[in-house]
Amino acid sequence: MATITTQDGTQIFYKDWGDKDAPAIMFHHGWPLSADDWDAQMMFFLLKGYRVIAHDRRGHGRSSQSATGHDMDTYVSDVIALTDALDLKNAVHIGHSTGGGEVARYVARAKPGRVAKAVLVSAVAPIMVKTDSNPDGVPIAVFDDVRTQTATNRAQFFYDFTLPFFGYNREGAEVKEGVRRNWWRQGMMGSVLAHTLGIKAFSETDFTDDLKAIAVPTLVMHGEDDQVVPFPTTGKLSAQIVKGAVLKSYPGYPHGMPTTHAAVINADLLAFIEG
């Protein structure tokens, strides 16, 4: 397995496919998944001639089950370590959900020449939790319940969570059992500690300043029927904050739209990257 070791000794697993001289795309996965969640996109862009990279966040997938560092700043430090090790230049960074927040903070802090474009897909930015300054956010009690269920009932909770994640609880939805099981497999590969502690990172981190600092072409993609990261208070706002951002919203699409609607999402990503 390809890994790098961070300063605190954590091993970060990554995939790096394609011609090393080809234009690079790096994918950042959501909670509590792994690089495998980008299978449909990595294969699509690999066959289009791109170099595709994706990593497992610390405590997730095949990376070390570290006891510490489950906060957004450390996640981004790990990304910086990986992009430095691979010497990625002018890469496109695409993040889904928690990975979208990771992309926002990484792009805001990246060294000059590292990033060409950014894409936030169903991303948690600018902030998810309800606060005095974010009165329409999700109440903290919702995330507290996710914490409790993850810590004490993870296997069943993760399996049940796939229903709203993919919109499979909507009338007329074509439920794909293999997709549900693959999501569950990815989640259960990771550390229950990392998953429990990481909930704070994706729900309570304020990315507003990061979004304001992004200075590369940015695409914001979000499903309007996202039951996990509500579109009106996240994607819609992010597109207003990032200077010059392009917003593409999708009526009826769920949080997991890169899987459920891969053909549409891939085509729109390609158009943005090559545009």
The tokens describing 122, both together, are 């169903």
Annotated catalytic residue, options 36, 37, 78, 226: 226
Which of 217, 213, 214, 248 is CA-nearest to residue 231?
248
Q: Where are the alpha helices (DSSP H) in the chain?
A: 39-47, 72-86, 98-109, 140-165, 177-189, 192-204, 208-213, 235-241, 257-260, 262-274
Q: What phi, psi does 136 have (nearest 5°)?
A: -95, 5
Residue tagged active-site, from 97, 122, 191, 203: 97
- Tell me, yes or no, if 226 is annotated catalytic: yes
- 200: its two tokens: 């704070």
Amino acid symbol at 193: L
Q: Which of these is catalytic: 28, 29, 255, 261?
A: 255
Provide CB contacts within 8 A for 36, sequence distance 6+.
61, 182, 186
- Is 63 designated active site? no
Question: How are the residues of the chain apportioned to helix, strand and coil, as percentages rounded to the nearest 5?
Answer: 45, 15, 35
Q: Which residues are catalytic?
A: 97, 226, 255
